[in-house]
Amino acid sequence: MGLETAVTYARTHQADFLEELCHYLKIPSISTLSQHHPDVLQAAQWLQDSLRQIGLEHVQQIETAGNPVVYADWLHAGPDAPTVLVYGHYDVQPVEPLAAWTSPPFTPVVRDGRLYARGVSDNKAQHFSHLKALEAMLQTAGKLPVNVKICFDGEEEVGSPNLAPFVEANQTLLAADFVVVSDGAMHQPDQPTIDYALRGVVAIEIRVTGPNRDLHSGSYGGSVHNPAQAVAEIVAALHHPDGRVAIPGFYDDVDTLSPTERDLLQKVPYSLSQWQTETGAAAAWGEPAFTFFERMTARPTCEVNGIWGGFAGEGFKTIIPAEAGAKISMRLVENQDADKIAQQLTQFVGQLTPPTVTVEVTVQAGADAAVTPYDSAGIQAAFRAYEDGWEATPLLSRGGGSLPIVATFQKLLGAPFVLMPFGLDDNRHSPNEHYHLTHLEKGIVTAVYFYHHLASAVTENSFS
Amino acid sequence: MGLETAVTYARTHQADFLEELCHYLKIPSISTLSQHHPDVLQAAQWLQDSLRQIGLEHVQQIETAGNPVVYADWLHAGPDAPTVLVYGHYDVQPVEPLAAWTSPPFTPVVRDGRLYARGVSDNKAQHFSHLKALEAMLQTAGKLPVNVKICFDGEEEVGSPNLAPFVEANQTLLAADFVVVSDGAMHQPDQPTIDYALRGVVAIEIRVTGPNRDLHSGSYGGSVHNPAQAVAEIVAALHHPDGRVAIPGFYDDVDTLSPTERDLLQKVPYSLSQWQTETGAAAAWGEPAFTFFERMTARPTCEVNGIWGGFAGEGFKTIIPAEAGAKISMRLVENQDADKIAQQLTQFVGQLTPPTVTVEVTVQAGADAAVTPYDSAGIQAAFRAYEDGWEATPLLSRGGGSLPIVATFQKLLGAPFVLMPFGLDDNRHSPNEHYHLTHLEKGIVTAVYFYHHLASAVTENSFS
Q: Name the CATH topology of B200-254+300-367.
A: Alpha-Beta Plaits (3.30.70)
Nearest-angstrom CA–CA distance, B311 and B313: 6
pLDDT digits (tens, 9 = 90+) for B266-309: 998 899 999 999 999 999 999 999 999 999 999 999 999 999 99
CA B307 to chain centre: 22
What share of chain B in percent tops pLDDT 90?
86
* B97 has a chain A CB within 8 A of its CB: yes
Torsion of the alpha carbons at A333, A334, A338 and A339, rounded to the nearest 10: -150
Q: Averaged over B430-457, what is the pLDDT?
A: 95
Q: Which of A231, A282, A314 is the closest to B34 by Cβ? A: A314
Nearest-angstrom CA–CA distance, B88 and A34: 47
Given a cut of 80, whether residue B459 has pLDDT beyond it is no
> Are A182 and A86 spatial neighbours (Cβ–Cβ below 8 Å)?
no
pLDDT value at residue A1: 53
Give CA separation, A273 vs A59, A264, A281, A384, B356, in Å.
46, 20, 11, 30, 15
Given a cut of 90, whether residue B210 has pLDDT beyond it is yes
CB–CB contacts below 8 A, A to B: 377
pLDDT digits (tens, 9 = 90+) for A132-163: 999 999 999 999 999 999 999 999 998 888 99
pLDDT value at residue B451: 97
pLDDT value at residue B85: 98
What is the domain partition of chain A in residue ranges? 2-198+369-455, 200-254+300-366
Chain B residues closer than 8 Å to A401 by CB: 216, 218-219
Given a cut of 50, whether residue B362 has pLDDT beyond it is yes
Nearest-angstrom CA–CA distance, B447 and B389: 8
Nearest to A170 by CA among A419, A369, A409: A409
Q: Name the CATH topology of B2-198+369-455.
A: Aminopeptidase (3.40.630)
* B218 has a chain A CB within 8 A of its CB: yes
Given a cut of 80, whether residue B457 has pLDDT beyond it is no
Given a cut of 90, whether residue A11 has pLDDT beyond it is yes
Instruction: Calculate how close chain A gets to B373, using CA atoms only, in Å.
Output: 21
Secondary structure string (H, E, C) spanning chain A: CHHHHHHHHHHHCHHHHHHHHHHHHCCCCECCCHHHHHHHHHHHHHHHHHHHHHCCEEEEEECCCCCCEEEEEECCCCCCCCEEEEEEECCECCCCCHHHCCCCCCCCEEECCEEECCCHHHHHHHHHHHHHHHHHHHHHHCCCCCEEEEEEECCHHHCCCCHHHHHHHCHHHHCCCEEEECCCCCCECCECEEEEEECEEEEEEEEEECCCCCEEHHHHCCCCCCHHHHHHHHHHCCECCCCCECCCCCCCCCCCCCHHHHHHHHHCCCCHHHHHHHHCCCCCCCCCCCCHHHHHHCCCEEEEEEEEEECCCCCCCCEECCEEEEEEEEEECCCCCHHHHHHHHHHHHHHHCCCCCEEEEEEEEEECCEECCCCCHHHHHHHHHHHHHHCCCCEEEEECCCCHHHHHHHHHHCCCEEECCCCCCCCCCCCCCEEEHHHHHHHHHHHHHHHHHHHCCCCCCCCC
Chain B residues closer than 8 Å to A307 by CB: 228, 231-232, 307-310, 312, 324
pLDDT value at residue B269: 86
pLDDT digits (tens, 9 = 90+) for B340-354: 999 999 999 999 999
Nearest-angstrom CA–CA distance, A70 and A56: 12
Instruction: Calculate how close chain A gets to B123, using CA atoms only, in Å.
Output: 14
**Fold equal for B2-198+369-455 and B200-254+300-367:** no
Q: Is B360 helix (H, G, I), strand (E, B) or coil?
A: strand
Interface of A with B in 398-427 (CB under 8 A): 399-402, 425, 427
Given a cut of 50, whether residue A180 has pLDDT beyond it is yes
Given a cut of 50, whether residue B460 has pLDDT beyond it is no
Chain A residues closer than 8 Å to B226 by CB: 303-304
Instruction: Calculate how close chain A gets to B297, using CA atoms only, in Å.
Output: 7
Instruction: Calculate how close chain B gets to A85, using CA atoms only, in Å.
Output: 24
Q: Averaged over A114-119, what is the pLDDT?
A: 98
Nearest-angstrom CA–CA distance, A329 and A338: 11
Chain A residues closer than 8 Å to B320 by CB: 303, 305
pLDDT value at residue B1: 53
Q: Do A427 and B213 touch (CB under 8 A)?
A: yes
Instruction: Calculate how close chain A gets to B319, using CA atoms only, in Å.
Output: 5
Q: Which of B205, B215, B275 is the closest to A279 by Cβ? A: B215
Nearest residue of chain B to residue A219 (CA atoms): B400
CATH assignment of A200-254+300-366? 3.30.70.360
Nearest-angstrom CA–CA distance, A321 and B307: 10
Q: Is B189 helix (H, G, I), strand (E, B) or coil?
A: coil
pLDDT digits (tens, 9 = 90+) for B17-33: 999 999 999 999 999 99
pLDDT digits (tens, 9 = 90+) for A345-385: 999 999 999 999 999 999 987 888 999 988 899 999 999 99
* B93 has a chain A CB within 8 A of its CB: yes
Query: To probe the interface with B, which of A31, A98, A223 has the most B CB atoms within 10 Å?
Result: A223
Given a cut of 90, whether residue A425 has pLDDT beyond it is no
Neighbours of A295 (CB within 10 A): 24
pLDDT value at residue B208: 98
Q: Do B221 and A296 touch (CB under 8 A)?
A: yes
Q: Averaged over B184-203, what is the pLDDT?
A: 90
Chain B residues closer than 8 Å to A279 by CB: 211-212, 215, 220, 223-224
* A161 has a chain B CB within 8 A of its CB: no
What share of chain A in percent tops pLDDT 70?
98
Q: Which of A93, A312, A356 is the closest to B317 by Cβ? A: A93
Q: Do B219 and A33 touch (CB under 8 A)?
A: no
pLDDT value at residue B412: 93
pLDDT value at residue A459: 36
Q: How many CA atoms lie within 13 A of B133 on its CB side?
A: 27
Q: Name the maximum alpha-carbon separation found in chain A.
A: 83
* B327 has a chain A CB within 8 A of its CB: yes
Q: What ipTM was estimated for this complex?
A: 0.81
* A20 has a chain B CB within 8 A of its CB: no
Chain A residues closer than 8 Å to B154 by CB: none
Instruction: Calculate how close chain A gets to B129, using CA atoms only, in Å.
Output: 22
Given a cut of 90, whether residue B51 has pLDDT beyond it is yes
> Residue B407 — pLDDT band, cuts 50, 70, 90?
confident
Nearest residue of chain A to residue B237 (CA atoms): A233
pLDDT value at residue A139: 97
Instruction: Calculate how close chain B gets to A316, using CA atoms only, in Å.
Output: 7
Average pLDDT over chain A, rounded to an integer: 94
Interface of A with B in 336-355 (CB under 8 A): 354-355
Q: Averaged over B239-260, what is the pLDDT?
A: 96
Q: Do B282 and A355 touch (CB under 8 A)?
A: yes
* A104 has a chain B CB within 8 A of its CB: no
> Residue A461 — pLDDT band, cuts 50, 70, 90?
very low
Nearest residue of chain A to residue B324 (CA atoms): A307
Q: Which residue has the higher pLDDT, A246 or B317?
A: A246
Q: Do B32 and A316 touch (CB under 8 A)?
A: yes
pLDDT value at residue B461: 33
